[in-house]
């Protein structure tokens, strides 16, 4: 085997565990320690739809250059799950390292001659130190953390600091954890030369970034946006949005004097009820939202149409997972784009926001509430499992104390008193196709109206007359035009256009796309890039497409759904749009993008 060249701060470490064994928190502490050393990290949890006993992986990409997408090729793998030993060993790149529990012998059939083996007697060490099987299991995790930290030259003081913070509320556990850590450290020091040539080294590359998952940021965004009613039904990968909302509400939204809550948090009987509750609450003047994933959105479709047609603001956080049907509930995809954009029967369309970082999850959740209230319609925040459930290095969450909620056109009792003409719930008074609404209980005799999903006139009266129906739905189409002026603008990655090829992407594809730009540029391939942040498409998106002969749309589904949306909404010639697709359930990589683009170039361009 060739000697490993020195490789600093550019590696992928993977932990292979059995789920339900407490490994997640040990692995997270390991990732956080490297982050604390000022080096960008991207951890990813690869887990099964199961509670205990199945394989789970935790992968950390460490990249001094700040590449936050997934990268294929594993430099060091800690394999403590006998069920998948073969697979794990095979997944290590040639020349890489396999760290295993040497309490049991590794049989010859598992020996590859092109990788390095490092045996640490993890469970034997744990059994020598702890009585109960549960503790042995838990501390075994910390033992391997100590060993790998030593091998990769992670600063032990930093690991200890992270452990101390983790157990700040249970200080009795700190010492035993340190002890376990030391067992792992010693096991390496006594038997192997360390650190390895693959290693980390302190840098100052993370600035004021935070390490947070998108769902937590969405939950916090909803609190900052003033949501008071949250209704939901458990489903992976959106559950932790609800959990974050509740956890932080308990800290931030309880009246200190009375102990009473300034929020209502309801686990509904299903997703139909969840969105029904949200519609009822916003109809009645509270900011309210729900969070769900694939199957849940499918169930909500009837109500989504009601909110569109009756013009009731709704915020829906849609954390996509692998479909169709129950699909791959714990894997990631961007495959609910068409079904979200045009959800429900009849002519319907809904604004969508596409955050790509946790900071944007926060910002766009707040934006979603303002947009929903301003446009009086349902707004979906489209996240995915990768963004929602994995920690990401992200700019800090930002709040401007001068910002005022945009609650849209709501009439007060005084407004109603002063009105000269009779109130018409669906009258376009201002010419922007957005009518005024009233909240129940506002005025004893003025402003009441009847909300309905049936066809209605400007005064909310039932009508099946063709002309009345047309006036209403054509106004809704005009409101869509208003929406285009209010949604976030796209982001560009060049000062001015340099190429007649444009790459277009959105959401979590961003990390890999940005890395791909560098990879392509290194080979002399220059293209322009645009990141779309919202549907309907902003005029700048249309302009970018117009200015490029060929557009490459990068997305994570089989059917190129985003490409279809572009073609459909802008009446584009399909020939002009090529696709880069990734839909195996793992986050897209820069190499995938690069190689698919190169293939396109060889053929079409």
Window 363-392: residues binding other proteins (CB under 8 A): none
Q: How far apart are CA 480 and CA 495, in angstroms?
A: 30
Per CB under 8 A, 296 contacts other proteins: no
Q: 113 in helix, strand or coil? A: coil
Residues in the interface with other proteins (CB under 8 A) total 75
Q: How far apart are CA 551 and CA 257, in angstroms?
A: 58
Give one DSSP letter per residue of 213-254, joined into a string: EHHHHHHHHHHHTT--EEEE---TTTHHHHHHHHHHHHHHSB
Residue pointed to by tokens 């020939």:
575
Instruction: List Cβ neighbours of 69 (8 Å cut-off, separation of 6 or more).
Output: 42, 61, 511, 512, 514, 515, 587, 588, 589, 590
Smaller CB separation from other proteins, 327 or 408: 408
Q: Which stretch binds other proteins (CB under 8 A): 16-24, 119-127, 256-264, 330-338?
A: 256-264
Q: Which stretch binds other proteins (CB under 8 A): 108-116, 174-182, 393-401, 593-601?
A: 393-401
Least distance (Å) between residue 39 CB and other proteins: 14
Contact 33, 149 (CB under 8 A): yes
Q: How far apart are CA 587 and CA 598, in angstroms?
A: 20
Smaller CB separation from other proteins, 47 or 303: 303
Per CB under 8 A, 419 contacts other proteins: no
Least distance (Å) between residue 421 CB and other proteins: 17
Least distance (Å) between residue 383 CB and other proteins: 18
Q: Among 220, 241, 534, 553, which residue interacts with other proteins (rule: CB under 8 A)?
A: 220
Q: Among 440, 470, 570, 574, which residue interacts with other proteins (rule: CB under 8 A)?
A: 440
Per CB under 8 A, 2 contacts other proteins: no
Q: Which candidate, 112, 106, 104, 189, places its Cα nearest to that of 146?
A: 189
The DSSP H or E segment spanning 33 is helix 23-36
Interface positions, 126-185, toward other proteins (CB under 8 A) = none
Strand-pairing partners, residue 74, are 92
Least distance (Å) between residue 253 CB and other proteins: 7
Q: Which candidate, 605, 562, 604, 552, places its Cα nearest to that of 583?
A: 562
Per CB under 8 A, 203 contacts other proteins: no
Pairing of strands 210-213, 534-535: unpaired
Strand arrangement of the beta sheet that strand 74-79 belongs to: 41-46, 55-63, 10-18, 74-79, 92-101, 116-120
Q: Among 171, 256, 259, 422, which residue interacts with other proteins (rule: CB under 8 A)?
A: 259
Least distance (Å) between residue 472 CB and other proteins: 16
Smaller CB separation from other proteins, 104 or 261: 261
Residue 449 Cα distances to 45, 377, 441, 466, 494, angstroms: 50, 18, 11, 22, 51
Least distance (Å) between residue 309 CB and other proteins: 11
Interface positions, 92-111, toward other proteins (CB under 8 A) = none
Per CB under 8 A, 506 contacts other proteins: no
Smaller CB separation from other proteins, 187 or 281: 281
Interface positions, 25-84, toward other proteins (CB under 8 A) = 36
* Cis omega (within 30 of 0) for bond into 324: yes
**DSSP code at position 105:** P
Per CB under 8 A, 301 contacts other proteins: no
Contact 69, 9 (CB under 8 A): no
Find the length of the chain. 605
Strand-pairing partners, residue 422, are none
Least distance (Å) between residue 13 CB and other proteins: 21
Identify the burial level of 484 via C-beta atoms within 10 angstroms of its C-beta, where 0-12 means exposed, 13-18 middle and 19 or more buried. middle
Per CB under 8 A, 234 contacts other proteins: no
Interface positions, 443-472, toward other proteins (CB under 8 A) = 443-445, 448-454, 461-463
Give one DSSP letter per residue of 298-330, joined into a string: HHHHHHHHHHHHHT--EEEEEEE-B-STT-BTT
Pairing of strands 116-120, 92-101: parallel
Per CB under 8 A, 279 contacts other proteins: yes
Contact 392, 360 (CB under 8 A): no
Least distance (Å) between residue 289 CB and other proteins: 11
Q: Among 39, 78, 196, 223, which residue interacts with other proteins (rule: CB under 8 A)?
A: 223
Least distance (Å) between residue 284 CB and other proteins: 4
Q: Among 125, 231, 512, 527, which residue interacts with other proteins (rule: CB under 8 A)?
A: 231
Per CB under 8 A, 441 contacts other proteins: yes
Least distance (Å) between residue 130 CB and other proteins: 30
Q: How far apart are CA 350 and CA 470, in angstroms?
A: 19
Least distance (Å) between residue 425 CB and other proteins: 10
Smaller CB separation from other proteins, 124 or 463: 463
Least distance (Å) between residue 207 CB and other proteins: 10
Per CB under 8 A, 286 contacts other proteins: yes
Per CB under 8 A, 276 contacts other proteins: yes
Q: Among 19, 45, 438, 582, which residue interacts with other proteins (rule: CB under 8 A)?
A: 438
Contact 60, 200 (CB under 8 A): no
Per CB under 8 A, 346 contacts other proteins: no
Per CB under 8 A, 421 contacts other proteins: no
Smaller CB separation from other proteins, 1 or 252: 252
Per CB under 8 A, 264 contacts other proteins: yes
């Amino acid at each position: 085997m060739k000697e490993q060249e020195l490789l600093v701060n550019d590696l992928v470490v993977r932990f292979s565990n059995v789920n339900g064994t407490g490994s997640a928190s040990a692995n997270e502490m390991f990732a956080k320690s490297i982050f604390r050393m000022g080096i960008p990290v991207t951890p990813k949890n690869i887990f099964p739809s199961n509670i205990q006993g199945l394989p789970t992986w935790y992968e950390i990409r460490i990249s001094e250059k700040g590449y936050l997408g997934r990268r294929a090729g594993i430099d060091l793998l800690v394999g403590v799950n006998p069920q998948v030993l073969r697979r794990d060993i095979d997944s290590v790149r040639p020349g890489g390292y396999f760290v295993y529990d040497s309490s049991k012998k590794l049989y010859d059939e598992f020996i590859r001659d092109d990788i390095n083996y490092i045996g640490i007697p993890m469970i034997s060490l744990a059994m020598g130190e702890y009585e109960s099987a549960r503790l042995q299991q838990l501390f075994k995790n910390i033992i391997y953390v100590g060993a790998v930290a030593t091998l990769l030259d992670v600063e032990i003081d930093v690991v200890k600091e992270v452990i101390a913070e983790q157990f700040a509320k249970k200080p009795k556990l700190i010492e035993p954890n340190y002890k376990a850590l030391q067992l792992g450290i010693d096991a390496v020091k006594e038997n192997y030369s360390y650190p390895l040539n693959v290693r980390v080294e302190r840098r100052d590359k993370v600035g004021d970034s935070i390490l947070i998952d998108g769902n937590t940021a969405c939950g916090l965004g909803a609190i900052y946006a003033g949501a008071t009613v949250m209704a939901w039904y458990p489903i992976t990968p959106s559950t932790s949005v609800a959990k974050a909302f509740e956890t932080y509400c308990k800290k931030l939204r309880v009246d200190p004097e009375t102990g009473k809550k300034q929020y209502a948090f309801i686990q509904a009987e299903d997703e139909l009820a969840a969105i029904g509750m949200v519609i009822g609450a916003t109809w009645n003047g509270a900011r309210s939202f729900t969070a769900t994933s694939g199957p849940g959105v499918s169930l909500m479709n009837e109500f989504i149409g009601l909110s569109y047609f009756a013009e009731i603001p709704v915020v829906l956080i849609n954390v996509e997972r692998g479909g169709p049907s129950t699909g791959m509930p714990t894997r990631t995809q961007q495959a609910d784009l068409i079904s979200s954009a045009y959800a429900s029967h009849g002519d319907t369309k809904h604004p969508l926001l596409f955050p790509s970082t946790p900071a944007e999850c926060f910002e766009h959740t707040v934006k979603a509430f303002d947009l929903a209230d301003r446009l009086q319609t349902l707004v979906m925040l489209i996240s995915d499992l990768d963004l929602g459930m994995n920690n990401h290095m992200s700019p800090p969450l930002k709040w401007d104390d001068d910002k005022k909620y945009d609650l849209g056109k709501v009439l007060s009792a005084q407004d109603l008193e002063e009105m000269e003409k009779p109130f018409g719930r669906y009258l376009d008074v201002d010419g922007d196709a957005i009518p005024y609404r009233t909240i129940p209980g506002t005025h004893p005799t003025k402003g009441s109206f009847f909300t309905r999903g049936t066809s209605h006139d400007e005064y909310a009266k039932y009508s099946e007359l063709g002309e009345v129906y047309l006036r209403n739905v054509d106004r809704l189409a005009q409101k869509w035009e208003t929406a285009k002026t209010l949604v976030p603008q796209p982001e560009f990655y060049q000062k001015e256009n340099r190429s007649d090829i444009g790459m277009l992407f959105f959401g979590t594809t961003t990390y890999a796309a940005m890395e791909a730009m560098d990879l392509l540029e290194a080979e002399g391939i220059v293209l322009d890039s645009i990141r779309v942040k919202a549907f309907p498409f902003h005029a700048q998106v249309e302009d970018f497409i117009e200015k490029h002969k060929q557009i490459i749309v990068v997305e994570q589904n089989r059917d190129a759904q985003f490409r279809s949306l572009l073609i459909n909404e802008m009446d584009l010639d399909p020939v002009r749009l090529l696709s880069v697709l990734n839909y195996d359930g793992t986050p897209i990589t820069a190499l995938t993008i690069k190689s698919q683009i190169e293939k396109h170039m060889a053929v079409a361009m």
